Amino acid sequence: MKKPIKDARREVARAVFTFRWAGQEALRLGGEVMPLDLEPGSEGRLALTRRFPRGPALLISPFNFPLNLAAHKIAPAIAVGAPYAHKPSSFARRTAEELGRLVAASGWPAEAAAVVAVGGAAAEALVKDERFGVLSFTGSGAVGWRLKSLAGKKAVLLELGGNAGVFVGEDADLEPAAARCAWGANAYAGQVCIKVQRIFVHEKVYSRFKDLLLRKVAALKVGDPSDEQTDVGPLITEAEALRVESWVQEAVSAGASVLCGGKRRADFFEPTVLEGVPESCRVSCDEVFGPVTIVAPVSSPEEGLRRLADTRYGLQAGLFTKDLNVIMRFWERLPVGGIIVGDVPTFRSDAMPYGGAKDSGIGREGVRFSMEEYTELRTLVLRP
């Protein structure tokens, strides 16, 4: 992926945690005992519930977190005792194969796992195969929804990205909020489905926040991924950098201003902040998947809520405010999988439920929640 080395090390540490957490969750995966003598005719009856794997799992993971996002699929499968086939991105084949060797070395049966580095028609044939009971896919919306249409009767879990937004209230601590937004907009060169893409700031603090944000973005080091000091490396391919460049040019042609960045060099794209972007531009309404963010003033939390919700995506959102009433209102009314208070939507704990609404997918990852997706309840009723 050409990921900065310090970020790659963090990913390895997270993957270790993910597998360890799955081992602990396996010990907690149980059922329950339910008395049934609550109605006439059920006297003395008792129900036991237990989770069983739905069947072998087909796990399709992307390039941007080639280790930890694979772990988020493989570790829950192992924890519930489900055989699996892992299809990685073509950009992450070596990582997948090495992870497969480590899983085998840990004692997981060789016949219960496979790395299938295939694409196109072969991948679709796997999705259609009725021997799989579960499909778990992380990637683009166009591909994910098509695979769901091919999946037949199997359970489907989709994580499809978004254009995550942030609201900064007039009561926010602006400097830490700007620092986190600068990081969340540009980490991993913006190739994160929960990267900060849209920032809506209360008009009373907009000018101060914008100045702070631009200073924080300017302080990021762009360069060689092998340099320990690098914050932002190249995109996965030059073609992706060219796409991001074209989206920025489209916004500028429509009247947007480039506050910083905006230039491409081969597969690098500078961290970029845009202002005055029409909502119809792709950098606003689609998933940019690059180091570009837009910033705009809003007159109130209500307008911030409306602007955040005005998207076909619904993965996560960030909220910088101390007002509990605002926080609760956003939680009740914003159709996203998660709201991160006091931080950017780019935050994810590997233990928490993770997934989206609308075009951002269906189902939830996070080790325990994936385990639930991979299994089904069976009930055993006993009588005297």
What phi and psi, each to the nearest 5 degrees, are found at residue 75? Answer: -60, -45
Question: How many CA atoms are closer than 13 Å to the CA of 13, on its beta-carbon side?
Answer: 7
- Count of the separate structural domains present in the chain: 2
| 281 and 326 fall within a common domain | yes
| 114 and 146 fall within a common domain | yes
Nearest-angstrom CA–CA distance, 69 and 67: 6
| 132 and 198 fall within a common domain | no
| 172 and 201 fall within a common domain | yes
The answer to whether residue 191 is domain-embedded is yes
Catalytic residue among 181, 193, 245, 373: 193
Q: Are 140 and 358 in contact (CB under 8 A)?
A: no
Nearest-angstrom CA–CA distance, 124 and 28: 35
Please write the tens of the pLDDT for every residue from 55-74.
999 999 999 999 999 999 99
Q: Are strands 46-53 and 375-382 parallel, antiparallel or unpaired?
A: antiparallel
The answer to whether residue 198 is domain-embedded is yes
Q: Closest Cα partner for 235 from 315, 277, 292?
A: 292
Q: Are strands 272-275 and 134-138 parallel, antiparallel or unpaired?
A: unpaired
| 290 and 322 fall within a common domain | yes
| 156 and 170 fall within a common domain | no
Tell me what pLDDT residue 141 has. 94
* pLDDT above 80 (res 161): yes
| 12 and 157 fall within a common domain | yes
Query: Which residue range(s) make up the domain with 55?
Result: 5-161+353-382
Please write the tens of the pLDDT for every residue from 325-344.
999 999 999 999 999 999 99
- Residues with Cβ < 8 Å from 99, sequence gap 6 or more? 67, 70, 71, 74, 86, 115
Q: Are strands 113-115 and 264-265 parallel, antiparallel or unpaired?
A: unpaired
At 180, is the secondary structure helix, strand, or coil?
Answer: helix
The answer to whether residue 110 is domain-embedded is yes
Region of 246 please: left (phi>0), alpha (psi -120 to 50) or beta.
alpha
The answer to whether residue 347 is domain-embedded is no
**Could you give the percent of the chain with pLDDT greater than 90?**
96
Region 196-204: mean pLDDT is 98
Which CATH number is 320's domain given?
Answer: 3.40.309.10
Tell me what pLDDT residue 120 has. 86
Burial tier of 331 (Cβ tally within 10 Å: 0-12, 13-18, 19+): middle
Catalytic residue flag (residue 25): no
Catalytic residue flag (residue 159): yes
Catalytic residue among 25, 159, 245, 373: 159
| 216 and 144 fall within a common domain | no
- Residues with Cβ < 8 Å from 167, sequence gap 6 or more? 200, 201, 298, 301, 304, 305, 308, 317, 318, 319, 320, 321, 330
Nearest-angstrom CA–CA distance, 24 and 44: 35
Region 156-165: mean pLDDT is 96
At 191, is the secondary structure helix, strand, or coil?
Answer: coil
**Could you give the percent of the chain with pLDDT greater than 70?**
100
* pLDDT above 80 (res 1): no
| 82 and 101 fall within a common domain | yes
Region 29-33: mean pLDDT is 92
* pLDDT above 90 (res 119): no
The answer to whether residue 348 is domain-embedded is no
The answer to whether residue 372 is domain-embedded is yes
Nearest-angstrom CA–CA distance, 60 and 159: 10
Tell me what pLDDT residue 2 has. 86
The answer to whether residue 172 is domain-embedded is yes
- Residues with Cβ < 8 Å from 111, sequence gap 6 or more? 83
| 108 and 223 fall within a common domain | no
- Residues with Cβ < 8 Å from 345, sequence gap 6 or more? 164, 165, 166, 184, 194, 196, 315, 316, 317, 318, 338
The answer to whether residue 346 is domain-embedded is no
| 213 and 324 fall within a common domain | yes
DSSP output for 127-138? HH-TT-SEEEEE
| 33 and 68 fall within a common domain | yes
* pLDDT above 90 (res 130): yes
Which CATH number is 128's domain given?
Answer: 3.40.605.10
At 115, is the secondary structure helix, strand, or coil?
Answer: strand
